Amino acid sequence: MANDTSSTTAAPRRGRAAAAASAATAAPAPPPDPREAVAPLLDPRHRRTVGHLHALAASPPQVVLAEGGTAAERMALALYWAALLNCESPEDVPDDARPCLSCPSCVRMAGGGHRDLVVLDGNKPSAEEGSFSIENVRALRGLLGEPPREGRRRVVVLVDAHTRVEAANGLLKSLEEPRPTTCFVLLAPQRERLLPTLVSRSFVLTLAWPTDALPPSPAVRDWLDALVEFIQTGGGWMERTSRKGDLDAPLAAAVVLHCQRALADVLAGRAADPLGRLLAERMDPARLRRCDEALAAVQEALSLSPSPVNPALVMDWLATRLFLGVR
């Protein structure tokens, strides 16, 4: 019986050892395809923005601010810009053929594995590695005093930089001294969400609005019209949201997205949507900024998965803020 027991327990151990040895000797995973990483930027809607990047590459500004588009498109712009500034293609390669997305530098930059690419994300908790926190900004300032380690330029990407005001203030100190071998890329849905002092130091590039936001579906349009009516008259909205099941989280998020687009149009001086015209007529810049903050807060609340919030209550809060904001 003892021999049988020994045989029974040894086999799994040998199996685990063999599996571990196999894993240790397995070939490393291939790096991400750089073309896939930058593909969101290469949509024809962004052709003009890509042209601006190539024009800027000859004399890169210290700070580029990318607004508009989707989060994936803004990140793709940052990776494309990093690859463009460090592409190792021969000098006789035409400028419009860069970044080549095949040289070692392009592959590592677009794949996020280059030693001269630093990405700090405002969506990560402050204690987490890679977060846009004041501690990481302070550590970054020490790194910026060093020359690039592999490429021609170090690229520092700050994702949703508007979410951390304290860290953004710390970043301003790093921008006070010109650093010719370092380029910063700030990513934000709209420039108005950033500190004005950051925007003033940036070359702003505006990505095209997502095509899936145009035009709104009939259901979304119906809720947008109801919102406009409530802002103007104070009536009708609460009766709609009190009907159980009429407004779920995806529909509410779609309404918020179109509100954000209407606000973006107002800020760009091209308010064509009924909601946008109303905001443009009734709100000064300070109120428009508070409106933007309210939309961002509601969008964040609705994006929690699974959503623990009541979409109707969240949208009631937003509607009330907009109603009060135009008065």
Read off the DSSP letter of residue 316: H
Q: Give yes or no on whether 34-208 and 212-325 have one common fold.
A: no
Query: Is residue 5 over pLDDT 60?
Result: no
pLDDT in tens, 55-84: 999 899 999 999 888 889 999 999 999 999
Architecture of domain 34-208 in this structure: 3-Layer(aba) Sandwich (3.40)
Q: Which pLDDT score is estimated for 306?
A: 57
Say if residue 106 is exposed, middle or buried (CB neighbours under 10 Å; 0-12, 13-18, 19+): buried
First to last CA, the chain: 87
Going by C-alpha positions, the residue among 157, 54, 44 that lies closest to residue 109 is 157
Residue 90 banded pLDDT, cuts 50, 70, 90: confident
Rounded to whole angstroms, the Cα distance separating 296 from 318 reads 10
| Mean pLDDT of the residues in the chain | 81
> Top-level CATH class of 212-325?
mainly alpha
Q: Spell out the domain ranges in the chain.
A: 34-208, 212-325
| Statement: the pTM of the whole predicted model exceeds 0.85 | no
